[in-house]
Amino acid sequence: MAPLRAHLRKGGADDHGWGLGLNIGRVAGLIANLSQRMAAHDRPVHLIGWSAGGVIAREVARSQPSNVAGVITIGTPVVGGPRCTVISRFYPTRVLDQMEHRMATAEETPIAVPLTAIYSRNDGIVDWRAMIPPETNANILEVSATHWRLPFDREVWNATVCALERV
């Protein structure tokens, strides 16, 4: 995400990385840490998450809408969870079922902040249909980059800036 963050800073954004290192799936701890970092700001913040980071951004927005100005997901599986990714073959079916159930249960509570989903049919890791959020008010933007290229792609950078300007 560093190249995207640098692009946003050049445009004048007050950028703060999440400061939590690599996302290895410990969602509850990541959400708690991100929530603490957000509390240090005197206004709602925009959350931008790539891949599984977008899942975390959505969950924080769902649980703390007063602290979140908007969410932008980039290449994020928002429907079906990891089952809709190429990494699903590394998970036991039981774990995939649990993750999918948790995501479906979470989706019962709507997200009350502006949402943008940036997706690519060329992603190669996440099925593009899983990146289209169920929320009818979501701004959905298609780009052409592959999953690993998304944070480095100017088209994604521009789509992110456009999404931030809309809020």
Express each pLDDT in 28-50 by its tens digit. Answer: 777 788 888 888 888 999 999 99
d(CA 31, CA 47): 12
Q: Where are the domains of the chain?
A: 2-7+44-166
Q: Which CATH number fits domain 2-7+44-166: 3.40.50.1860, 3.30.420.40, 3.30.1440.10, 3.40.50.1820?
A: 3.40.50.1820
**Average pLDDT value for the chain:** 88
Across the range 22-32, mean pLDDT stands at 69
Q: Structure tokens of 100?
A: 């999918």
Q: What is the pTM of this model?
A: 0.88
Q: Specify the pLDDT at position 89.
A: 84
Residue in the structure block whose two tokens are 């769902």: 62
Task: Using the CB atoms, write b or e for 89-117: b if 16+ within 10 Å.
Answer: eebeeeebeebbeebeeebeeebebbbbb
